[in-house]
Structure 1
Amino acid sequence: MLVYEAGPITVRELEEKDVLSMVSWLSNPDVLQYYEGRDNPHDAERVREQFYVDDDETRCIIEYEGKPIGYIQFYLLDEEMLGEYGYGESDADGITFATDQFIGEPDYWNKGIGTKLMTSMVEYLVVQRQADRIVMDPQAWNERAIACYEKCGFRKVRLLEKHEQHEGEMRDCWIVEYRPLQGQTL
């Protein structure tokens, strides 16, 4: 099912036909260096167990000019996850979405597609889903991803030390946050 289109980018819900693309991306060491870890390759069974589950996350394929090139998921953060990210009770008001994503085709890296994707996802979540806040938790060493998110209006709000297991060690992550400005037009 189509989630949205924005120029050459289409975001659609994950389908059974996407298993092979997901396996290809999540077994590529270049991709795994940034998402899941090179020590954590996925086969079809593992992809199905992790990504084809019935829960509150919306799991999607990113297409560029009709070609599947990556994956994005978004979901509402509940009070427990807000607390894990360092937000207090006063931050529980409003609608907070989180996203995770990767471009699985390295030939599409460093071409501005990630910026276009995140700009369009922010617009979708703010306009269509009435998000008051969008957050992500990239690993602190992933400067390229953080720079992309900052170009899209996210700002670093909190460092979570030893937050995520990656390649055999606990890694620091930044909480980056986007909040729409009152009266801002996307």
Structure 2
Amino acid sequence: MKNVSPAINGPNVLLRKPVESDVIDYLNVETSRELIHMYGGNTKKISPKTIEKAQKFIQKIRENELEWCVEYEGRMVGQARLTVNNSDNRARYAVGLFDPNVWGKGLGTEITQMVLQYAFEELGLHRVDLRVLEYNKRAIKCYEKCGFIQEGFEREGALIEGIYETDVLMGILDREYKALKHSFVEMRLLT
């Protein structure tokens, strides 16, 4: 059975499938060197955004069954994704806010809590995990606030701009989520 992401409404953000204006929203935000660095990309080779690249970016979100555009104040500012492994009843989580103007507002925490609530309460998953670069302290703090536990490290497994960097492996189990869910933001599934 395929999982298709419903729209999920939180206090400040809406997680939804793409709409046509998302291409323009994406194009209107200049590529951030800090964002590229936190994603593990090469900040020395940033190419300008084009309409074609923006359309491909939005199309990938559209094609992924459990990926959402993040809408904040009426415009797209990022995306969130679950990649489900049904045989092990688990998922890999990823989130990214491409607009630096919305960083530091707690949106990453709200989005993560909304996606975890969906993963555990709607999909009935046992585990959600993620990988994050060790130097991405802001993201690690967000994930820990949402109940993720550092489970290990992949030492120097990512070569970024000539330096071997370490990934932090983090996870949260359904019982850990249930112990914390009372503190999570309230969300509504939209049809």
Larger displacement relative to structure 2 (61-70 or 108-117): 61-70
* Aligned pair partner of 2:155 in 150, 161, 165: 161
Amino acid paired to 1:132: H
Q: 1:10 Cα shift?
A: 0.6
Retained in 1: the 8 A contact 2:156–2:164?
yes
Offset at residue 14 of structure 1 (A) = 2.8
Distance 2:91 2:53 in 1: 25
Q: Is the 8 A contact 1:164 1:173 kept in 2?
A: yes
What is the CA–CA distance in structure 1 between the aligned matches of 2:115 and 2:128, rounded to whole Å?
A: 10
Matching of residue 150 in structure 1 with residue 144 in structure 2: yes
Letter in 2 for 1:131: L
Tell whether the 8 Å contact from 1:13 to 1:58 is kept in structure 2 after alignment: no
Please provide the CA RMSD for this pair: 2.8
Equivalent pair of 2:148/2:170 in contact (CA under 8 Å): yes
Summarize the Cα distance change of 1:98–1:170 in structure 2 as closer, same or farther, 3 Å threshold: same
The whole-number CA distance in structure 1 between the counterparts of 2:29 and 2:104 is 17
Specify which of 41, 49, 52 is matched with residue 45 of structure 1. Answer: 52
* 1:46-100 Cα deviation digits (max 9, x unpaired): 444455248655332111243322121221147xxxxxxxxxxxxxx63111121
- The verdict on how the C-alpha distance between 1:44 and 1:68 changes in structure 2, with shifts beyond 3 A counting, is same
Equivalent in the alignment of 1:69: 77
Structure 2 gaps of 5+ residues are 182-191
> Partner residue of 2:21?
17
Q: Match for 2:118: what amino acid?
A: Y
Change (3 A) 1:163 1:25: farther
Specify which structure has the bigger relative contact order, considering alpha-carbon pairs within 8 angstroms and separated by 6 or more residues: 2
Match of 1:5 in 2: 9
Structure 1 residues 55 and 163, CA, compared in 2 at 3 Å: closer, same or farther? farther
Q: Sequence identity of aligned pairs in percent?
A: 20
Structure 1 residues 88-121: Cα deviation after superposition (integer angstroms, max 9, x where no partner): xxxxx63111121112222221122211111111
Partner residue in 2 for 1:31: 35
